[in-house]
Chains A and B, each alone.
Chain A
């Protein structure tokens, strides 16, 4: 006997992600899935984004922090006064939609407009798991090298924006911004591309404006 299934293997996750998305839409919440390698600068980017020159006063943010262990990132969000829930995946290399569904129960969704999910630092495993976000934003720091788009295409292909981080370090690396931009255009022609140096605030207003535009367009 043969059963023709022709179904996505991660269908269960995708169903849960769709439920998350419906829940967020109904509550007027815009979800962003922030992905990138460990050390690409995800938390530092968020700190800059939630500052005065970023989204302060414009987005009513909350953050879900995904880490294998610890709550260092959550403490950094807490210090900014941003509501935060920490998920410890206890070894798992990515967040999935069920973890998000459980985490949001710990947030006062009424007060939130922008929900940023900072994924586990990983360019491979995070690519396959829809969390219920409206935008996926992938970070690539210049110290990682400009070959990462070709080496890890899936995560870039499915993202709505590429943020090249730590551009203040460019003079010390052989990273070619143009190569990264060209590769991103082939993998995700519609994606927006930003260059930032979060510790200096460089490029943050443009990224913040784009996020607000995308939130308002919904």
Chain B
């Protein structure tokens, strides 16, 4: 359940970004990127946020989550492809000499506030 810790960090971060931008008012939308290999479950994060946003500026914000995929990078033919699962082989040349990169993003992309 580290999604609770992440939700907590996220709420604090949104509040500090809003403050830093000299803005105020209710947050209407928060856009996140949570990589498929980040170890964070978006549904669990939403659940934790639902519990924790009460009484904060995020209380009625829509939370949009993009889920970037990991890339399979082939050492033999140099091709890079998005993967759904942790496949063992390159889809281009069939080599198993591949490395898996990315998919670990855990980003606060943007915040939208209601117009005052």
Contact = CB atoms under 8 A, between A and B. Distances in A.
A121 B106 CA distance: 22
B109 A153 contact: no
Interface string A171-189: 0000000000011001101
B18 interface: yes
A2 B25 CA distance: 12
Interface in A1-56: 1-13
B110 A4 contact: yes
A11 B13 CA distance: 8
Interface in B44-86: 70, 86
A5 B109 contact: yes
B13 A3 contact: no
Contacts of A7: 13, 17, 107-108
Interface size class of A (residues with CB under 8 A): 20 to 34
Interface in B78-116: 86, 88, 96, 98-100, 103-104, 106-113, 115
B43 to A, nearest CB: 14
Interface of B is mostly: mixed
Given A3-B21, A128-B38, A153-B86, A186 B99 contact: yes
B1 A128 contact: no
A157 B100 contact: yes
A154 B107 contact: no
Contacts of A157: 37, 100, 104
Contacts of A129: 2
Contact of A5 (B1, B39, B110): B110
Interface in B1-35: 1-2, 5-6, 9-10, 12-13, 17-18, 21, 23, 32
Interface of A: 1-13, 92-94, 96, 124-125, 127-129, 150, 152-155, 157-158, 182-183, 186-187, 189
8 contacts: A2-B113, A3-B110, A4-B110, A9-B106, A12-B12, A153-B86, A154-B104, A187-B86
Interface of B: 1-2, 5-6, 9-10, 12-13, 17-18, 21, 23, 32, 37-40, 70, 86, 88, 96, 98-100, 103-104, 106-113, 115
